[in-house]
Chain A
Amino acid sequence: MNRKMDNKEVSTSYWKDAFKRLRKNKLAMVGLYIILGLMVIAILAPWIAPYDPYEVNYDEYLEPPSLRHPLGTDEFGRDILSRIIFGARVSLQVGIIAEGIATAIGVLLGSISGYYGGWVDHLIVELTNIIFAFPFLLFVIAIVVSLGPSLTNVFIAVGITGWAGTARLIRGQILSLKESEYVEAARALGASNTRIIFKHIVPNCIAPIIISATLGMGGAIMTEASLSFLGLGAQPPIPSWGSMIDYAKDFLRTNLWYSFFPGLAIMITVFGFNLLGDGLRDALDPRLKV
């Protein structure tokens, strides 16, 4: 790996430059720290959570924030802080797995569409148009209803609806890259189409892929929260931020904090991904920097 990196002098300095630009962008760094912090919380959840997130305690239900329970307790007496800490695991999983599926499908279909052209291209472009024509959340809801409500099905639904944007982006990149001289050279050397696409072309569109995946992760987390809020995502007693608010809303009048903290967690997380995504766009695409 290292040796390879050394050979690609140009691309190394491109990434170094990009990182330098990113580090100068304060907001993007805030986003990065939020995401890193979240990852640490998710990984260390069993050790840092003060209570077991599933532990029911009817002696202490719906308590306001206190020293014992910094963010209060829910209607089963479960510690809200611990549930939010474990909820970070759910959200990050959704972000990584669901958006991973979407990005993989998008890159694959986008490159096939752009590289081969012809009827395959028409078909895929038409399919992206159809996906864009659906109101996104309702489409995801319809899929989850068909598959049955569960967290796994949320991954699948977000994965198979979320790829269209990436596909469109990659197709555009490939259309211009496939005419370039180094691709022609690779073809002249007898490289197969698969090799040209995945070894030569896709690595050159890695920047837009990273940008759209980062923004997409925030979107996927928001979608999961919305579905869980409607009772279609994570099923109880899994501590998902969205379903916590779903249960909390019945106690809104007297227990604001119960609704407030899980929502704050969603907002901070999605905000982090959006900040980083915006910053990456400025850092990785110098052409956009005016």
Chain B
Amino acid sequence: MINYIIRRLFLTIPTIIGIITITFLLMYVVPGDPVRILMGQRGDPETIAMIRKQMGLDDPLPVQYFRFLGNILRGDFGRSYATNRPVLPEILSRFPATLKLALASMLVASIIGLTAGIVSATRQYSFFDYSSMVVALMGVSAPVFWVGLLLMWIFGYTLGWLPISGYGGVSYLILPAIALGVRPAAYIARMTRSSFLEVLRQDYIRTARAKGLPERRVIYVHAMRNTLITVITVLGMELASLLSGAVLTETIFAWPGIGRLSVDAIIKRDHPMVQGTVLFTAIIFIFANLIVDISYAFLDPRIRYE
């Protein structure tokens, strides 16, 4: 197991370097002189030339690249154009909000997704099965920002039960968590249903039925265990993508997480901040997925001996 983890950790190194490289190149090709953005209208040509030199913007591409790489590896993500403060602490301070929203919507998604998936699978081809799978596919097809706006209108403006947007207690968390949870819920429902159906066809389930176990026990004990392996992986993968920031949901609900931070940075043309959030979320995404893979190997011993 330890060997497997170490091997997987090593495999992430080229991916992370690749991500740093692409992020660097993306910001390198951005049109517009960063110094101009920084100085606004004030700068005269000499000052601009001096600052360019100070920032190393006149160095050849490879020199700039390796300096960037070195800085990132030391945890220096650069300074924000907007505030001139280091980017990384700002990103880290926004992470708890993103984490809170991700966990809450995961909770919503698992409760709805698992229930719908199991009920559909045990009543395959029933009206419930048919309609819940159509609803799930509609959930996958609805834009999250639109779902968010509809929820806002219904529960915020019309019924007045919940705050429209902002950050605070649990009441602020409910609407964004539901909006963000719709897609993963639909996905979890579909995956749970199909993996449950697969498990139900296996020999050991027939054996369990043949020896006279009550159906309830066959489904909730025997079949459930093997279904959970697949479902937990899906949950983990969904959580990984939620953790990397819900750009759209955080934007419409004014939720102060990483997604909102990156959109604000884009509007302000704060390139180091954009770069920082992209890089940070990509790395979170990689490690979250790595943990999912490792826990999968933990749950299913067959994986370790591939």
- Whether the Cβ atoms of B266 and A252 lie closer than 8 Å is no
Which bracket fits the contact residues of B?
A: 35 or more
A51 at the interface (CB under 8 A from B): no
How many angstroms between the C-alpha atoms of A130 and B248 in the bound complex?
A: 23
- Whether the Cβ atoms of B137 and A266 lie closer than 8 Å is no
Given contacts A226-B143, A259-B149, A271-B138, contact A145 B15 (CB under 8 A): no
- Whether the Cβ atoms of A126 and B278 lie closer than 8 Å is no
B29 at the interface (CB under 8 A from A): yes
- Whether the Cβ atoms of A126 and B15 lie closer than 8 Å is yes
Segment 1-55 of B: residues with Cβ below 8 Å from A: 14-15, 18-19, 22-23, 26-27, 29-31
- Whether the Cβ atoms of B18 and A127 lie closer than 8 Å is yes
Given contacts A271-B138, A274-B141, contact A230 B248 (CB under 8 A): yes
Shortest Cβ distance from residue B265 to the other chain A in the assembled complex, whole angstroms: 9
Q: Which residues of A contact B286 (CB under 8 A)?
A: 133
- Whether the Cβ atoms of A126 and B18 lie closer than 8 Å is yes
Given contacts A142-B274, A146-B30, A271-B137, contact A135 B244 (CB under 8 A): yes
Interface string of A255-285 (1 = CB under 8 A from B): 0100110010011101100110010000000
Q: Which residues of B contact A138 (CB under 8 A)?
A: 244-245, 247, 259, 262, 277-278, 281-282
Segment 246-268 of B: residues with Cβ below 8 Å from A: 247-248, 251-252, 259, 262-263, 266
B146 at the interface (CB under 8 A from A): yes
Of the candidate stretches B85-93, B150-158, B206-214, B217-225, the one touching chain A is: B150-158
Shortest Cβ distance from residue B98 to the other chain A in the assembled complex, whole angstroms: 11
Closest to A290 in B: B201
A193 at the interface (CB under 8 A from B): no
Given contacts A133-B15, A137-B248, contact A263 B142 (CB under 8 A): yes
How many angstroms between the C-alpha atoms of A259 and B154 in the bound complex?
A: 13
Q: Which residues of B contact A242 (CB under 8 A)?
A: 143
- Whether the Cβ atoms of B19 and A134 lie closer than 8 Å is yes
Which bracket fits the contact residues of A?
A: 35 or more
- Whether the Cβ atoms of B149 and A263 lie closer than 8 Å is yes
Segment 68-115 of B: residues with Cβ below 8 Å from A: none
Given contacts A134-B278, A135-B241, A138-B245, contact A229 B145 (CB under 8 A): yes
B134 at the interface (CB under 8 A from A): yes
- Whether the Cβ atoms of A135 and B145 lie closer than 8 Å is no
Q: Which residues of A contact B29 (CB under 8 A)?
A: 146-147
How many angstroms between the C-alpha atoms of A267 and B140 in the bound complex?
A: 9
- Taking a contact as CB atoms closer than 8 A, the residue among B14, B23, B142, B251 that contacts A126 in the complex is B14
A247 at the interface (CB under 8 A from B): no
Given contacts A138-B245, A263-B146, contact A145 B22 (CB under 8 A): no
B285 at the interface (CB under 8 A from A): yes
A112 at the interface (CB under 8 A from B): no
- Whether the Cβ atoms of B245 and A135 lie closer than 8 Å is yes
Given contacts A127-B18, A133-B19, contact A142 B26 (CB under 8 A): yes
A139 at the interface (CB under 8 A from B): yes
- Main SS at interface, chain B: helix
Shortest Cβ distance from residue A105 to the other chain B in the assembled complex, whole angstroms: 16
A81 at the interface (CB under 8 A from B): no
- Taking a contact as CB atoms closer than 8 A, the residue among A226, A270, A271 that contacts B248 in the complex is A226
How many angstroms between the C-alpha atoms of A67 and B158 in the bound complex?
A: 25
Given contacts A130-B18, A134-B19, A249-B252, contact A146 B247 (CB under 8 A): no
- Whether the Cβ atoms of B143 and A225 lie closer than 8 Å is yes
* Best-buried of A126, A145, A259 by chain B (most CB within 10 Å): A145
How many angstroms between the C-alpha atoms of A133 and B200 in the bound complex?
A: 34
Segment 218-274 of A: residues with Cβ below 8 Å from B: 218, 222, 225-226, 229-230, 232, 242, 245, 249, 252-253, 256, 259-260, 263, 266-268, 270-271, 274
Closest to B283 in A: A133
- Whether the Cβ atoms of A130 and B247 lie closer than 8 Å is no
Q: Which residues of B contact A146 (CB under 8 A)?
A: 26-27, 29-30
A129 at the interface (CB under 8 A from B): yes
How many angstroms between the C-alpha atoms of A146 and B145 in the bound complex?
A: 24
Closest to B25 in A: A146
Q: Which residues of A contact B278 (CB under 8 A)?
A: 134, 138-139, 142
- Whether the Cβ atoms of A252 and B149 lie closer than 8 Å is yes
4 A-B pairs with the lowest CB-CB distances in the bound complex, closest first: A263-B146, A135-B244, A130-B18, A271-B141
Binding site for B on A (CB under 8 A): 27, 126-127, 129-130, 133-135, 137-139, 141-143, 145-148, 218, 222, 225-226, 229-230, 232, 242, 245, 249, 252-253, 256, 259-260, 263, 266-268, 270-271, 274-275, 278, 290
Interface pairs (22), CB distance under 8 Å: A126-B14, A134-B19, A134-B22, A138-B245, A138-B278, A138-B282, A141-B247, A146-B30, A225-B143, A226-B143, A230-B266, A249-B149, A252-B149, A252-B157, A253-B153, A253-B157, A256-B153, A259-B149, A270-B141, A274-B141, A275-B137, A278-B137
